[in-house]
Amino acid sequence: MFQFSKNLFKITAFIIAQFCIINSNAQVLNTDKTSALDSNKKIQSQISLAIATDQQKKSLVDLYYAGDFTFVGKENATTLYTKVDKVSNGGVSIQDLGTFQLKNNRKISNKFYVESFVQYQWDGGLGLESRALIGMNLVHYLKNTQKEDFFFGGGIFLEKEKWNFSQVNDLSLVNNAPILILHPKLNLTAKYSIINPNNNFELIIRAFNQSGWNNKLLTNRTSVFTTLQFPISKKFTTSFNIDFLYDTAPIVPIDHFHYNYAQSLSFSF
């Protein structure tokens, strides 16, 4: 146990160092690896980095970082996941989002797992200043092999959010005071992924449905994450990622539907 804690500390320090080096300032859970719990690789990791600039009338700068580190035990797996994406044009922020999550999957039978997690994130493009949550899901696996992963589950989490009105288009609806909410939510989730072990081609699809009560109204957020990964070499892969989010009752008056597309280059070791 002491050795595990020592290794976790080292990995955490490394990620923080990477974050500081990039010097950039990540909304729903999308932090999954396609990996069975009985894997022979006890420590698995992946880092994605991207830096882009475009000199037009103003300077466009895009900084992107994502990293996950997983410790695989006999009956559980623990993952530390981080993501930061910051885009500015002429010093004006266009996109500023980040996610930090620590998650543990503990096997309680051949078909059932307990998924517990803590998370902190923000999304300047939506006006989400901060989102902190802690929760737990009971997950039922239909398949959990080195090639295929298919499960569904449900649980509950406690969420604290702070929203501002920076992305509200209707000025008559703008309120200078940020909105702070704290409430529990029900969480339904499902995931399907498949990987070719010969060339590391991978497809991941995960969906979430989160519901709760706010101001006597039932709120519901549905999100779908899709990742398609192609190998370039043994160490490098390129991936295509598209995320969808639909919120029936946004905390501030912004659009109900949002999507995000990204392509990245990853180095695995």
Output the 3-class SS for the chain.
CHHHHHHHHHHHHHHHHHHHHHCCCCCCCCCCCCCCCCCCCCEEEEEEEEEEEEECCCEEEEEEEEEEEEEECCCEEEEEEEEEEEEEECCEEEEEEEEEEEEEEEECCCCEEEEEEEEEEEECCCCEEEEEEEEEEEEEEEEECCCEEEEEEEEEEEEEEEECCCCCCCHHHCCCCCEEEEEEEEEEEEEEEEECCCCCCEEEEEEEEEEEEECCEEEEEEEEEEEEEEECCCCEEEEEEEEEEEECCCCCCCCCEEEEEEEEEEEEC
The total domain count for the chain is 1
Percentage of the chain exceeding pLDDT 90: 30
Q: pLDDT tens across 200-233, in order?
A: 788 989 999 999 887 778 889 999 989 888 888 8
Range of weakest confidence among 26-30, 79-83, 87-91, 119-123? 26-30
pLDDT at 165 over 60: yes
CATH number at 81 reads: 2.40.160.40
Domain housing 191: 2-268
What's the pTM? Answer: 0.72
Question: What is the structure's pLDDT at 268?
Answer: 67
Q: pLDDT tens across 40-95, in order?
A: 567 777 787 777 776 665 677 888 888 888 888 888 888 898 989 888 887 777 88
Question: What is the structure's pLDDT at 179?
Answer: 92
